[in-house]
Amino acid sequence: MTAAVELVPRSAALAASAERALRAELAAYPKPGLVSHRDDGSHDDMSAVHFERSIEALRPHFTAIAEAGARDADLGALRELGVRAERAMLLATGGVNTHRGSIFALGLLLAAAAGPEDGASLGARVRARWGDELLRHPTDPGSHGGTARRRHGAGGALREAAAGFASVYGTGLPGLRAARRATGDPARAAVHAFFGLLAVVEDTNLLHRGDAAGLAWARAQARAFLDDGGAIADGWERRAVGVHRAFVERRLSPGGCADLLAATLMVDELERDAP
């Protein structure tokens, strides 16, 4: 079979991994302040239905991004495909931004996964292939993330990606795998990984909604949950729901951490043989 014939099935398989990661992220509960199948968190403009519609709409676009990665596309080409994916998302959701950050993060990781295998992690491949250019040519200065970057000096999604998704590899994956080994429950492990990310990530969505004080408060809540054993300990769900309700009261929503949880789940699947 020629490489050209193999390209589409491989890209479709990678896109399916991205879709599974987004569905698992949506299903994970409780994620403080965020939408799930249980409730809408701190949002009055979106629900799980919006997320499901978006995920369906993104499937062919993730395939196209993976195909571009297999052709060693440059960052400009990937950005154009990302813009098309965002348009499809907004059309499917009636203008609601459900997955913009996930399109960015998962798109880069998919493109890296579709490219030549060199023994490096997907994050390392993203850093080597596009890291410098991501920092030289940031996009969307008027977005919430762009505003938070200017106002607070936050790195946000761009710096995370340029650094090879350091939070995914340093926090998300170790937490996910440790909790899964301890509990045997993938959904519970996803919540544990999410709280780990929440404790360390400079989430620009939190900065947008709560400024620096809101971010500090959110991180402190996550650290306290983890210090008590996180989702590995008995009584974890009751404590996590309490944190979730406190976030809703403050209208805080750590959407950047949700994007990184989805990235963690996809990387975990694609690098399943990693230690």
Average pLDDT over residues 125-147: 76
What percent of the chain stands above pLDDT 70?
89
CB-CB contact of 113 with 270 (8 Å) = yes
Q: What is the pLDDT of residue 146?
A: 53
CB-CB contact of 162 with 132 (8 Å) = yes
Q: What is the pLDDT of residue 117?
A: 86
Q: What is the pLDDT of residue 118?
A: 87
Residue 139: pLDDT band with limits 50, 70, 90:
low
Is the pLDDT at 152 greater than 50? The verdict is no
Is the pLDDT at 3 greater than 90? The verdict is no
165: left (phi over 0), alpha (psi -120 to 50) or beta: left
Tokens found for residue 89: 């998302």
CA distance 91 to 186: 32
Tokens found for residue 42: 């701190």
CA distance 12 to 63: 5
Residue 151: pLDDT band with limits 50, 70, 90:
low
Say which CATH superfamily domain 3-270 falls into: Triphosphoribosyl-dephospho-CoA protein (1.10.4200.10)
Average pLDDT over residues 201-222: 94
Q: What is the pLDDT of residue 209?
A: 87
Q: In the chain, where are the structural domains located?
A: 3-270
Nearest of 25, 13, 15 to residue 260 by alpha carbon: 25
The predicted model scores a pTM of: 0.92
Residue 231 per-residue DSSP state: G
CA distance 7 to 113: 12
Identity of the amino acid at 4: A
CA distance 35 to 48: 6
* Residue 38 CA to its chain's centroid (Å): 20
